[in-house]
Amino acid sequence: MKKSEIYKRLYKDYSKKYLDKILISAFFSILIAGSTSSIAWLLDPAIKKLFIDKDQSLIFLIPILIIVAFTVKGLSLYFAKATMIGVGEEVKKKLQFDMTKSIIRADTQLIDKKHSGKFISNLTYDVTHVTNLLSHALLTLFKDSLTLVGLLFVMFTQNWELALISIVMIPLAGISAKSLGKRVGKVTTQAQEKSGFLTTYLVELFKNHKLIKIFQKENYENSRANLYLEQLKDKNKKIQVVFVRMSPIMETLTGIMIAILIFYSGKLMAQNKLDINNFFSFLAAMMLAYQPVRSLSTLNMVLNQGLSAASRILPIIDNKNKINDSDISEDLKVEKAKINFKNVKFSYNEEENKVLDHLNLEFEGGEMTSLVGHSGSGKSTILNLIPRFYDIDKGDILIDNQSIYKTKIRSLRNNISLVSQETTLFDDTIKNNIKYAKDDATDEEIKEVAKLSHCDEFIDLLPHKYDTIIGENGIRLSGGEKQRISIARAMMKKSSIILLDEATSSLDSETESKIQKALSILTQNKTTIVIAHRLSTILNSNKIYVIDAGKIVANGKHEELIKNSELYKNFYEKQIQK
C-alpha cells in the first residue's frame, strides 16, 4: 500500500469523523502562533521605548501584554493538546475495535497461521504509533508550522536580510530529517517484530507455567526472557537514538546561524541600517523559532513510524474471509439432521498431501456415529468441516440434502454444538460461561442444564455458587468440572447436531460416569458425530467409521467390524486392556 493511500485511508476511516475537534485544535494552534509571535514582537517597543528612549508611558502596558501573551499561549497549548489527546484516544479505540472485530470474524485458518502474541503486538505497539501519527503529529503540524510562519513574519518585519539568512536553516533541517525518517521507519518495523516475539513468548510463558516448574526450566526461561527483552531494548534504543540525532544537527545549525547573524548584524549596525531593538526582537523570534523547526524536522520520523505501523494494521482490518455466504445462500431447514459427505477432498495447505481424499460418509439423523482411527487420520478434520471452520477443496457436504455451501453460515452453525476435548472457558462466572450459548437464558434454565450435566453437584459447594469466577480457561476447576460446564453450555443451545471430541480418557471412573450420563442426555435423539476415545462410546454408537490416512477403510456396527477390520480389532483390544 502506497503512503498516499495509507494517508487517505486513515483520514477517511479514522480522522474525518473528528474533523470538528481537529479544527478546534487548529484554532488554538493559531492562538499559539499569534501569542508566540507577539512575544518576540513586543521586545522591539520594550527595548526602544523603555531602555533606549527611557519613555515611562508604556512601563505597565508592555509587561502586562507580555503576561497576556504567555497566558494565551499556555492556555491555547493546553486546550489544543487536550483536544487532540481526546481525538487520539478515540482513534486508538476505533483502530483496536476494527482489528478485534476483524480477528473475531476471521477464518480459523488465518488465526491458526499467526500466533496470538503477534496479533496482540499489532493491537498495542502498532496502534500506538498510528495514534501518534493521527493526533500528536497532526497537532505538531498545525501548531508548529503556524508558529513558524508567525515568527518568520516578525523576523521579516524587523529585517528582511537577516530573515533570508535565517530561513536557510529550515531546508537543511528538513533534508537531515528526511534521511533519518527512512531509518526510523525501518527500525520501527524491526522493533514491532521483536515486540511480537516478546508478546508471543509471554503468552506461552503464562500458558505453560506448570510445565516450566515441573521440568525446572526457570533458569532457561530467564535466559530466553532476557534475550527477547534485550532484542526489543536494542531496537527501541535505536529508534530513540535516531530521534536524538537531530539535536546535534539542530544545535550546530543554530550556532552557525547565530554566529552569521551576529557578524552580519554588526555590519548593518555599523552602517546604521539596523537598530538594537530590531536586532533583539529579531533574535528572540529566531530563538523561539528553534522549537517549531526542531519539531517539524522530527515530524517526518513520527510519520514514518505511523506509516510503517499502519501498513501492518490495515491488512488485518481489511482481511477478506474466504469462508463466506454465497449469493444464493438460504437458511438451513433441519428436519432429520442427516449429514452426507460426497467425495470430499481436503488439505490445509496446497503444498500438503490431502488430509481427506474422496471421502464419502453418511451420518443418520438422530443417531450416534463414531469415528475411530489413529491420531492424524483425519477425524478432527471431519468435525471441523461440518460447521465450516474450513472449506473443502472438492466434493460437497449435505445436511438433509441441502449443501452447507448454499446455506447461510449463521443458520448452519446455529444448528450445531461442539464439545471438544480441549475445553474452552472464559475467565468469568460459571453462570456466564453456561449462558454463553444463549444470552437471554433465565436462571431457571441455567440451573436445569447444570443439573442435567451434573454441574450442580460441585457448583453448590462453591462459596459464590453460579457467580463464582473460574479463572483463565477455568483454571480453578478440575478437568471433569470444566468438561461438565462445557456440556451444560452445549445443552443450553439445544441444537440438532452434536459434534463431540470425547475427553474422558484422563478422568477418574466416577467423574467419567457422570460425564457419560450428561453426554447421553445431550445427544439423545440428536445427530451425534463423536471421535471415540472410550469403549463405552463405541459400543453405544449406531454406526462406526474406521478412518486411516484420510480414507474410510471400514464401517458398520461393532460386531461386524470386529470380524471384518483388523485395524478396528486392534483398536478395540487396546481399549479392553486399559
What integer pLDDT is reported at residue 27 of this predicted model? 92
Contact 13, 58 (CB under 8 A): no
* Last-in-domain residue among 317, 341, 363: 317
CATH number, position 89 = 1.20.1560.10
Is 572 found in the same domain as 443? no
Same domain, 394 and 299: no
As a whole number of angstroms, the distance between CA 125 and CA 568 comes to 52
Any idea which of 176-185, 326-335, 517-526 has the lowest mean pLDDT?
176-185
Helical H segments across 159-275, by residue range: 160-166, 169-207, 209-214, 218-244, 246-270
Cell of 233: 531494548
In-domain check, residue 544: yes
**pLDDT at position 75 over 90:** yes
Whether 515 maps to a domain, the answer reads no
Report which DSSP code applies to 273: -
pLDDT band for position 177 (cuts 50, 70, 90): low
Verify that 406 and 441 share a domain, yes or no: no
Give yes or no: residues 239 and 152 share one domain. yes
User: Residue 508 — pLDDT band, cuts 50, 70, 90?
Assistant: low
Whether residue 26 is contained in a domain is answered as yes
The answer on 533 and 472 residing in a single domain is no
Closest by Cα among 306, 277, 297, 377 to 54: 277
Residue 517, domain member (yes or no): no
Radius of gyration of the chain (CA): 35
Q: How many CA atoms lie within 13 A of 3 on its CB side?
A: 10
Residue 225 and residue 110 share a domain: yes
Q: Which of 49-53, 182-186, 390-394, 536-540 has the highest mean pLDDT?
A: 390-394
188-202, 381-395, 463-477: the lowest-pLDDT one = 188-202
The pLDDT-based confidence of 31 (bands split at 50, 70, 90) is very high
Buried b (16+ CB within 10 A) or exposed e, 460-471: eeeeeebebebe
Q: Are residues 228 and 103 in the same domain?
A: yes
Model-level pTM? 0.74
Tally the C-alpha atoms within 13 A of residue 40's C-alpha that lie toward its C-beta: 29
Per-residue model confidence (pLDDT) at position 121: 79
Residues 6+ apart with CB under 8 A from 577: none
One domain for residues 205 and 228: yes
Q: What does the mean pLDDT of the chain come to? A: 81
Task: Evaluate whether 418 touches 355 at the Cβ level (below 8 Å).
Answer: no
pLDDT at position 507 is 55
> Is residue 263 in a domain?
yes
pLDDT score, position 357: 81
Residue 238 and residue 249 in one domain:
yes
Residue 516 domain flag: no
Give the whole-number percent of the chain exceeding pLDDT 70: 89
Higher pLDDT: 96 or 207? It is 96
Average pLDDT over residues 66-90: 89
| Residue 503: pLDDT band with limits 50, 70, 90 | low
Q: Give residue 28's pLDDT band: very low, low, confident or very high (50, 70, 90).
A: very high
Determine the average pLDDT of the residues in 516-534: 81
The Cα–Cα gap between 16 and 384 comes to 42
DSSP string computed for 363-424: E-TTSEEEEEE-TTSSHHHHHHHTTTSS--SEEEEEETTEEGGGB-HHHHHHTEEEE-SS--
Of 291, 317, 343, the one marking the end of a domain is: 317
Q: Quick one: 335 and 308 in the same domain?
A: no
Alpha carbons 422 and 314: distance in angstroms, whole number: 32
496 has a pLDDT exceeding 70: yes
Most confident range (mean pLDDT) of 160-169, 172-181, 503-512 is: 160-169
**DSSP type of residue 101:** H
Q: Residue 343 — left, alpha, or beta (φ > 0 → left; ψ -120 to 50 → alpha)?
A: left
Note the pLDDT of residue 512. Answer: 67
pLDDT tier for residue 291 given thresholds of 50, 70 and 90: confident
Identify the CA nearest to 92 among candidates 37, 18, 24, 23: 18
Report whether 238 contacts 301 (CB < 8 A).
Answer: no
Q: Which of 157-161, 469-473, 522-526, 533-537 has the lowest mean pLDDT?
A: 533-537
Structural domain contains residue 534? yes
Residues ≥6 apart with Cβ < 8 Å to 378: 355, 356, 359, 547, 549, 550
Distance CA 144, CA 137 (A): 10
Q: Tell me if 297 sits within 8 A of 250, measured CB to CB.
A: yes
According to the model, what pLDDT value does residue 185 have?
Answer: 64
With cut-offs at 50, 70 and 90, classify the pLDDT of residue 129: confident
Q: Taking a C-beta distance cutoff of 8 angstroms, is the pair 165, 282 a contact? A: no
Single residue among 287, 317, 347 that ends a domain in this structure: 317
| Local structure of residue 335 (DSSP, 8 states) | S
**Helix spans in 245-366 (H):** 246-270, 276-317
**What is the rounded distance in angstroms from the CA atom of residue 297 to the CA atom of residue 177?**
5
pLDDT band at 118 (very low <50, low <70, confident <90, very high): confident
Measured distance CA(521)–CA(455) in Å, rounded: 13
Same domain, 429 and 539: no
Q: What average pLDDT score do residues 344-366 get?
A: 81
Domain residues for the domain of 487 are 424-494
pLDDT for residue 137: 82
Q: Could you tell me the CA-to-CA distances from 230 to 197, 226, 227, 236, 237 in Å, in that order? A: 12, 6, 5, 10, 10
Here the CATH number for the domain that contains residue 487 is: 3.40.50.300
The single-letter code of the amino acid at 432 is N
The amino acid occupying position 35 is: S
Total domains present in the chain: 3
Looking at residue 141, what is its pLDDT? Answer: 83
303 and 443 within one domain? no
Is the pLDDT at 448 greater than 80? The verdict is yes
Which residue type is seen at 49?
A: K
Instruction: Name which residue leads in pLDDT, 513 or 324.
Output: 324
Question: Rounded to whole angstroms, how far apart are CA atoms 93 and 135?
Answer: 13
Q: What is the mean pLDDT of residues 343-360?
A: 79
| Inter-CA distances, 187 with 67, 227, 308, 524, Å | 44, 18, 10, 59
**Closest CA relative to residue 320, chosen from 102, 120, 116, 114:** 102
Take residue 134 and report the three cell numbers written for it.
493521527
- Residue 254 forms part of a structural domain: yes
